[in-house]
Structure 1
Amino acid sequence: MTQPQFELAIERQINASPESVFKVWTQRTEEWFAPKPWKTRIIEQDFRPGGRSCLVMSGPDGTETSPMDGVFLEVIPNRSIVFTDAFTVGWIPQSPAFMVGFATLTPKDGGTFYRAGARHWDEESMKKHEAMGFREGWGTVVAQLAALAEAEG
């Protein structure tokens, strides 16, 4: 597969099965989705195509982000999750759309090869996301996800 032109991604081998990684991704999101000491509060996570994905992050000082509201485009248990902020529930377009996010879980070497990232509409959006600390932030949350999944078994 050709890498999309405006993609940022993080890859990591996780010493846990795809089933464990998927379980933590979908059932323990609040524990890993924001780099600590930030916290995540789920408003709704309906893991099905067209289902709502909405959450808020809060910093150590209590400051909250605007709700990150979008939909899931694809959910294949133990294999992949794709989501976007381009639509709200009912396929209602919203602006400005920022990205399509994805996570793939591939069985490898007795564990999971995890690849997660964001695909952007243009170079400017991609560079803005990178400047916001994409690599550090997403790298931190992937490490948090891995620690929880590896503890699960």
Structure 2
Amino acid sequence: MQGCEDKPARLQTPTHTDAESMLWKVLLFVGLVVLGAHLCSNKFVDIDKTREFFALSLEYVVFWFNEGQKDEFAYKFLRVRRSQRELFNWTYLIDVEMGRTVCKKHDEDIDNCPLQQGTGEKKVRCTFIVFSLAWMTKFNILNSTCLQT
């Protein structure tokens, strides 16, 4: 019998030209670059201001602000205007209003001190960018801007 020998079947493999191969590599590379840029962006997103690590970072920036002031009176935070966190990072943007109290900087329980009235009354609005490893009590102020209101 001719033609009935057992021969292994040959698989047909698709042939790609060098240009097609290069096109797929370029598309894959562009896709990875776009995805990487999106994942590594420095975009801040709104977060709940009661989140534990944000609250600890807020306490730290108020302390840091008071330590840097020549004023003997302490400031306390009055209102958080904006609470944000950088995507995929522990960097917070804290926009806060603070008021000057009747307590000295190193007094206990500044949060319960009344605000100064009359000529001693001062309020500031500050924006802080702080890198926080709050669970290790490590904070680093990256930027701060304050304006008297």
Q: TM-score, normalised by structure 2?
A: 0.28
Which has the higher Rg, Structure 1 or Structure 2?
Answer: 2
Which structure's residues are more often helix, by fraction?
A: 2
